[in-house]
């Protein structure tokens, strides 16, 4: 059976797979993530090209995570079903 890559690790550490999955849900190109996070395009390309947990400065990972969360991404912990990403449900306004 082929090994399936983990999306995110415990304690909020991100992987390249999680970042790519989040961008896909948002229909974002790498340039969109660059603009939203202020992380350079070459850095995003480098981080996404290597499988597994991102080997980056913590402030870089935090900037990527915050930009994706601000755009509506929710990172799911590995709680028995495996880690992942999803779009956050929109809040309904009460009248």
Sequential pLDDT tens for the chain (95 residues) = 444 333 333 345 789 999 999 999 999 999 999 999 999 999 999 999 999 999 999 999 999 999 999 999 999 887 767 778 999 887 666 66
Answer yes or no: is 66 within a domain: yes
pLDDT at 19 (0 to 100) = 96
Answer yes or no: is 14 within a domain: yes
Answer yes or no: is 92 within a domain: no
Residue 75, domain extent: 10-86
Answer yes or no: is 93 within a domain: no
pLDDT at 79 (0 to 100) = 75
Question: Is 0.95 topped by the overall pTM?
Answer: no
Answer yes or no: is 28 within a domain: yes
* Other beta carbons within 10 Å of 29: 11
Answer yes or no: is 70 within a domain: yes
DSSP assignments along 6-37, one per residue: PSB-GGG-BBHHHHHHHHHHHT--HHHHHHHH
CA distance 38 to 55: 18
Answer yes or no: is 46 within a domain: yes
Number of structural domains (the chain) is: 1
Answer yes or no: is 4 within a domain: no
CATH number (domain holding residue 43): 1.10.260.40
């Amino acid at each position: 059976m082929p090994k399936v890559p983990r999306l995110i690790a415990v304690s909020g550490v991100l992987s390249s797979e999680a970042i790519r999955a989040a961008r896909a849900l948002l229909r974002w190109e790498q340039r969109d993530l660059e603009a939203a996070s202020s992380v350079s395009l070459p850095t995003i390309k480098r981080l996404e090209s290597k499988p597994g947990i991102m080997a980056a400065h913590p402030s870089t990972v935090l900037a990527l995570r915050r930009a994706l969360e601000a755009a509506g991404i929710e990172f799911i912990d590995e709680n028995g079903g495996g880690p992942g990403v999803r779009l956050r449900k929109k809040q309904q306004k009460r009248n």
